[in-house]
Amino acid sequence: MPTISDVARVAGVSTATVSRVLNGNTEVDAAMAARVRTAVDQLAYRPSRIARSLRTRRSAVLGLVISDIRNPFFTDMVRGVEDVAFANGYSVVLCNSDENLGKERDYLQLAIAESMAGVILAPASLDETDVSALTGPGIPVVTVDRRAPDPAVDRVLIDNARGARLAVGHLVDQGYRRIACVSGPTTISTGAERLAGYRAVVRSRRLRTGAELIRFADFHEASGRSAMSELLAARQDIDAVFVANNLMTLGALQAVADAGLVIPDDIAVVGFDDMSWAPLLRPPLTTVAQPTYDLGAETARLLLDRINGFTGPGRELVLPPTLRVRASSAPRRER
Amino acid sequence: MPTISDVARVAGVSTATVSRVLNGNTEVDAAMAARVRTAVDQLAYRPSRIARSLRTRRSAVLGLVISDIRNPFFTDMVRGVEDVAFANGYSVVLCNSDENLGKERDYLQLAIAESMAGVILAPASLDETDVSALTGPGIPVVTVDRRAPDPAVDRVLIDNARGARLAVGHLVDQGYRRIACVSGPTTISTGAERLAGYRAVVRSRRLRTGAELIRFADFHEASGRSAMSELLAARQDIDAVFVANNLMTLGALQAVADAGLVIPDDIAVVGFDDMSWAPLLRPPLTTVAQPTYDLGAETARLLLDRINGFTGPGRELVLPPTLRVRASSAPRRER
DNA sequence: CTGTTAGCGCATTCAT
DNA sequence: ATGAATGCGCTAACAG
């Protein structure tokens, strides 16, 4: 592994000059610069990002803390973050918090120990996530997909309440009246906002209401399945359901199948998060699609802004969801 | 950000002693060690991983180069890698090569510049991927899921030929005889091996053969769809199809739907890679399931072995796939 | 415009 | 068993 000194020796200049050529900050005589570049090529020299980081107190690494990479919602988003990050010379370290505040805290500490340039975080909790450990040492943070307590941090969100209103409003328009909801945890902002959207439509359209129409699950498949089973067992008369995320929808569909019900004749279904396979289900699934790739890409841009010195109050970028109407919410037919 | 000197001052010892306590290599007097630990807690000191890396010439970061994080096959695998890595104090930097040898090379260079402890690579090409840039500077490499040219590198693979034989043999057992194949690129070992498995069964069971029964695609959805459309257009008489990966299967199912055919009555389908939603398709999809999480976890273990000094010839770990029989390959009925 | 020099924070000799 | 001193490779003052 050649070092900057090797390059300097071969090019017949000082290490400072090599550094200047490589970083292009100050002007260097063209002939000298050419000699340096030749030496760099000849030795196949690559600057040590470690040494550079130690010196500049800032590494070209971004931390990306999400709840679980196995949730397909996050993968497009991760890809958006990565593409923008790598295009700007940054690498991305991926961390799964498993919705666990302890793990989340450990990863934020890791960001400090690694002197990461910045961190993108999908907070595990709406009010308990604490990013002060990072903002103290001056490591910029942007939250993605979910809100955190600190209004000073930039955030990129989906308009979840609107998405939920689109979904439930659509069900009403299609003739459904007894609409249940499989909600996520309200300790996570997406869970709280989607439930709020559901409730808003229930109220404004004067639908049947009541706690027995709502079940809470943890955004995973298994709990979505049992929540749906409970709904079906408790209320034979529900005619539609809004499920607040992708994995729970998977579980809910299984519960519907377990109960021997037919979609949409016995019960209509709308899920949050579109998936590539949603059109292939029988019947094809109506969903609220989120601009996941852009969500990640925009978040990375806001973070790079901060890394590059932007200061100012916390910014909030809200991206719109879209309703994708398919046959699982076909107009209600009298039975 | 406190440094090791701050800790040393507070504890009234030298920095060398602090370092020794933190790394636990040599024996330190118990009382002194206690003083150090108290100071560490008091200052909330976290060693700089950057400085440590510069000094030891080895960072606690693993590179993970795959083709695309959006392919659900990789996400479970990534999770397996991460869990093992983090449990051993390593972080994971994720890189998408997009099956592009240029990007792959860039990321391997990044591993050098970052002095990464090791790299896990799903090679973009069976014979053109070149890891010598890493093995030169002594950075261990393990390939995952796919083979690379260098027999000296450890590798963890799925028995793809066996998986394909399970799939196609099952179709034969169910009564299908004119079995087509949507194959992946044979420049990637998984593509080549799955096609070989298909051909082995075609030969041994004396099925109809011929180039018109095989179409090549690039492991993505769009090309899988057009490949399947071509097969259906060219041969009205095929009664089953084996599709060599998950995304192409998604495309193939769309093509079948486009053609107005019914599965399995008009055509039976078996795909490679099980997905959580495969049972929810109508009809549920028969697949070859791969132990993806273990694939990643085992790969990380082999890599850590190397990082911890294991030397020896290239090892090969081959994990078994499993056939998950569902209704898309129900016994053939005469028409 | 270029070279000399110092030091980022740590682990590791070499003395003691 | 402990401390003093050194240097990993690089960038940023500063001097020239």
Residue-wise pLDDT tens digits, A68-97? 999 999 999 999 999 999 999 999 999 999
Contact B314, B306 (CB under 8 A): no
- The answer for A 39-58 residues in CB contact with B (under 8 A) is 46-51, 53-54
- Which is more confident, A237 or B271? B271
Q: Given a cut of 80, is residue A334 above it in pLDDT?
A: no
Distance CA B16 to C1' C15 in A: 14
d(CA A282, CA A280): 6
What share of chain B has pLDDT > 70, as a percent? Answer: 100
- The 3-class SS string of chain A reads CCCHHHHHHHHCCCHHHHHHHHHCCCCCCHHHHHHHHHHHHHHCCCCCHHHHHHHHCCEEEEEEEECCCCCHHHHHHHHHHHHHHHHCCCEEEEEECCCCHHHHHHHHHHHHHCCEEEEEECCCCCCCCCCHHHHCCCCCEEEECCCCCCCCCEEEEECHHHHHHHHHHHHHHCCCCCEEEEECCCCCHHHHHHHHHHHHHHHHCCCCCCHHHEEECCCCHHHHHHHHHHHHHHCCCCCEEEECCHHHHHHHHHHHHHCCCCCCCCCEEEEECCCCCHHHECCCCEEEECCHHHHHHHHHHHHHHHHCCCCCCCCEEEECCEEECCHHHCCCCCC
Q: Given a cut of 80, is residue B25 above it in pLDDT?
A: no
Tell me, what DSSP letter sits at residue B281? Answer: B
Q: Which of B21-30, B50-59, B186-195, B301-310 has the lowest mean pLDDT?
A: B21-30
- Which is more confident, B279 or A325? A325
**Residues 12-31 of chain B: which lie with beta carbon within 7 Å of strand D?**
12-17, 20, 26-29
Contact B250, B221 (CB under 8 A): yes
Instruction: Name chain B contacts of A76, Cβ cutoff 8 Å.
Output: 70
Q: Given a cut of 80, is residue A196 above it in pLDDT?
A: yes
Partner residue facing B48 (CB), from A76, A115, A221? A115
Q: Given a cut of 80, is residue A17 above it in pLDDT?
A: yes
Give chain B's mean pLDDT.
94
Q: Given a cut of 70, is residue B250 above it in pLDDT?
A: yes
What are the helix (H) ranges across chain B?
A: 4-11, 15-23, 30-43, 49-56, 72-87, 101-113, 132-135, 160-173, 189-204, 221-234, 246-258, 292-307
Tell me, what DSSP letter sits at residue B12? Answer: T
d(CA B56, CA B168): 52
Contact B103, B74 (CB under 8 A): no
Question: Smallest Cα–C1' distance to nucleotide D11: which residue has it?
Answer: A55
Distance CA A136 to C1' D6 in A: 33
Question: Residue B276, class by beta-carbon neighbours within 10 Å (0-12 exposed, 13-18 middle, 19+ buried)?
Answer: middle
The CA distance from B195 to the nearest CA of chain A, in Å, is: 25
**Residue B282's pLDDT is what?**
85
Partner residue facing A253 (CB), from B82, B257, B280? B280
Q: Given a cut of 70, is residue B335 above it in pLDDT?
A: no
Distance CA B93 to C1' D4 in A: 38
Distance CA B89 to C1' D11 in A: 29
| C-alpha dihedral (B306, B310, B313, B318), degrees to nearest 10 | -60
Distance CA A35 to C1' D11 in A: 20
Contact B299, B144 (CB under 8 A): yes
Any A CB within 8 A of B211 CB: no
- Are B282 and A279 an interchain contact pair (Cβ–Cβ within 8 Å)? no
What share of chain A has pLDDT > 90, as a percent? Answer: 87
Among A1, A135, A334, A117, residue whose Cα is nearest residue B138: A1
Helix (H, G, I), strand (E, B) or coil at B94: strand
Instruction: Name chain A contacts of B86, Cβ cutoff 8 Å.
Output: 95
| C-alpha dihedral (A181, A182, A185, A190), degrees to nearest 10 | -70
Q: Evaluate if the CB of A17 falls below 7 Å from strand D.
A: no
Structure tokens at B276: 């959580």
- Are B46 and A112 an interchain contact pair (Cβ–Cβ within 8 Å)? yes
The CA distance from A44 to the nearest CA of chain B, in Å, is: 10
Contact B252, B207 (CB under 8 A): no
Partner residue facing A109 (CB), from B46, B50, B93? B46
Any A CB within 8 A of B79 CB: yes
Q: Evaluate if the CB of A1 falls below 7 Å from strand D.
A: yes
- The answer for A 251-290 residues in CB contact with B (under 8 A) is 253-254, 257, 275-277, 279-282
Mean pLDDT for B173-202 is 97
Q: Given a cut of 80, is residue A212 above it in pLDDT?
A: yes
Any A CB within 8 A of B130 CB: no
- Are A281 and B276 an interchain contact pair (Cβ–Cβ within 8 Å)? no
In the sheet that holds A322-324, the strands lie side by side as A214-216, A179-183, A240-243, A268-272, A286-289, A322-324
Among A94, A99, A92, A93, residue whose Cα is nearest residue A67: A99
Q: Given a cut of 80, is residue B254 above it in pLDDT?
A: yes
d(CA B95, CA B116): 13
d(CA B286, CA A196): 40
Structure tokens at B75: 């996400």
**Residue A335's pLDDT is what?**
65
Among B240, B237, B181, residue whose Cα is nearest residue B213: B181
- Nucleotides of chain D in contact with protein CB (under 7 A) are 1-5, 7-13
Mean pLDDT for A63-67 is 96
Contact A179, A238 (CB under 8 A): yes
Task: Select the residue from A45, A59, A74, A94 to test the B interface by mutation, using most B Cβ atoms within 10 A.
Answer: A94
Mean pLDDT for B237-253 is 96
CA atoms within 13 A on the CB side of B190: 25
Cα B289–Cα B290–Cα B293 angle in degrees, nearest 5: 130
- The per-residue pLDDT for range A89-147, each reduced to its tens digit, is 999 999 999 999 999 999 999 999 899 999 999 999 999 999 999 988 889 999 999 99
